Amino acid sequence: MKLSRRRALLAFIFCGPPLYGALLGAFLFYWGNQDRAQKADAIVVFGAHVRRDGSASPILRARTRHAFELWQRGLAPRIVCTGGIGIWAPAEAVVQKRLLQSWGVPEAAILTDQTSTSTRENARNAAALLPRGARVIAVSEAFHLWRCHREGEKAGLQVLTSPSTSGWDALQRRTRLFYLARETLAVTRDVFLGFL
């Protein structure tokens, strides 16, 4: 009897966390893959890292391009670029703005937050640039959008979500797993620390 309990405990210790991570990751990915884009006051691009040479990483470029395409469809008159300086300058928002302007978005249609360094700060700083209760379309990868939605709603925004897929598709499998694992840990941390 004691032996079977010990085996059950060991099975839980070794299988529980990976199973939990897999289930949460699947939920985040499924939830984020639903495109909820509709007419809104603004499109908010959540930041991603900048390369050593100051150019956009594939994920940052893909998010920005997706936001541009939503803007081009007339779903919102403004795009909010978020993200401060990470490992390399310039700020993520600056890189996004340059890309948008190179694709023909007028400067008057772009708002920038160049100081945020986390998803929570992206959402809060974007909310500070917009009227209270503004309706926005949050743009990021599918696995990240559940948290973008939660943080945006907590910041006082009405949040719709629209996943960017081309940057994700370009990543290697190992990198995808890393990002997904990091996101499940971030959501778990928020739950345990009472952020949700």
Lowest-confidence pick of 88-92, 95-99, 177-181: 177-181
**pLDDT tens, position by position, 129-166:** 999 999 999 999 998 999 999 999 999 999 999 999 87
Q: In the β-sheet with 110-113, what is the strand arrangement from edge to edge?
A: 110-113, 79-82, 42-45, 135-140, 158-163
Predicted confidence band of residue 184 (pLDDT cuts 50, 70, 90):
confident
Instruction: Tell me the mean pLDDT in the region 46-66.
Output: 94
Question: What is the rounded average pLDDT for all residues in the chain?
Answer: 86
| Residue 98, pLDDT above cutoff 50 | yes
Amino acid at 184: T
Predicted confidence band of residue 5 (pLDDT cuts 50, 70, 90):
low
Cis peptide before 58 (omega within 30 of 0): no
Position 21 scores a pLDDT of: 65
Position 85 scores a pLDDT of: 92
Domains (range + CATH), the chain: 36-192 (3.40.50.620)
Predicted confidence band of residue 17 (pLDDT cuts 50, 70, 90):
low
